[in-house]
Amino acid sequence: MNFLLFGNAVSMVGCLIMVGIGLLKQKSHILIAQSVQCLFMGVGNLALGGVSGFICNIVTILRNLAFLKFRNTTTLKIFFIGLQLILSLGSLNDGFISWLPLIAAAIFTWCMDTKSAARLKICILCTQVMWLTYDLYYRNYVASAFDVMTFVSNLIGLYMVCKKKN
C-alpha cells in the first residue's frame, strides 16, 4: 500500500476521534479518547515520515495516562516536556519543521490546565498553526484539513469568549 494513502487514512481515523472528543464531558473520558486519537495520528505521522510527530503523539499518550492517575503539577509538566525533548533529539533531522510538534506539545502541556478559556483558545490557535505547517510539510492532507477546521472553530470560540466578557 502507498505510504501517503496509508498515512492519510490512519490520520483520518484519528481526526474523526478528535471530532468525537468534542461530545465528551468528563475529563477522564477526554484524556482516554485523546490517547486513542494520538495513537492513530502518531502512526499516520510515522507512515508519512514525520518521526518527531510520532514521538510527540506517543509522549502525549503517556502524559494523558499520567494525568489520569496523578495531579497535573509543574514537576510533571517539566518531566513530560523534557521526555519529549530527549526522545525527539534523534528525529530532528528535517530542521525547524521537525521541532514544531515538540514546541507545540510543550506549549500545550504547559497551558492545558489554565482556568482561562481565552488563554486556552490562544494556546490551541498557536499550536494548531504549528501542526498545520508540520502536516502540510509531510503531506498529511487529512490532518491539515482538520487543523484548519480546529483553528477556525477555536478562533470563533475565542471571539465568543471575548465577546461574552464585554
Q: Per residue, what are the HEC states of 29-94?
A: HHHHHHHHHHHHHHHHHHHCCCHHHHHHHHHHHHHHHHHHHCCCCHHHHHHHHHHHHHHHHHHCCC
C-alpha distances (whole Å) from 97 to each of 42, 74, 140 are 16, 27, 14
Q: What is the C-alpha to C-alpha distance for residues 77 and 50, in angstroms, rounded to an integer?
A: 24
Q: For a pLDDT cut of 70, what percent of the chain falls above it?
A: 99
| pLDDT surpassing 80 at residue 75 | yes
Nearest CA among 59, 52, 53, 68 for reference residue 10: 53
Q: How many domains does the chain have?
A: 1
Q: What is the C-alpha to C-alpha distance for residues 30 and 2, in angstroms, rounded to an integer?
A: 32
| pLDDT surpassing 80 at residue 1 | no
This prediction has a pTM of: 0.92
Q: For a pLDDT cut of 90, what percent of the chain falls above it?
A: 81
pLDDT at position 164: 85
Q: What is the C-alpha to C-alpha distance for residues 44 and 41, in angstroms, rounded to an integer?
A: 5
Nearest CA among 64, 106, 65, 66 for reference residue 85: 106
pLDDT band at 44 (very low <50, low <70, confident <90, very high): very high
pLDDT band at 24 (very low <50, low <70, confident <90, very high): confident
Which residues, 6+ apart, have CB-to-CB distance to 103 below 8 Å? 130
- Average pLDDT score over the chain: 93
Average pLDDT (78-92) is 92
Give the residue numbers spanning the domain of 136: 3-165
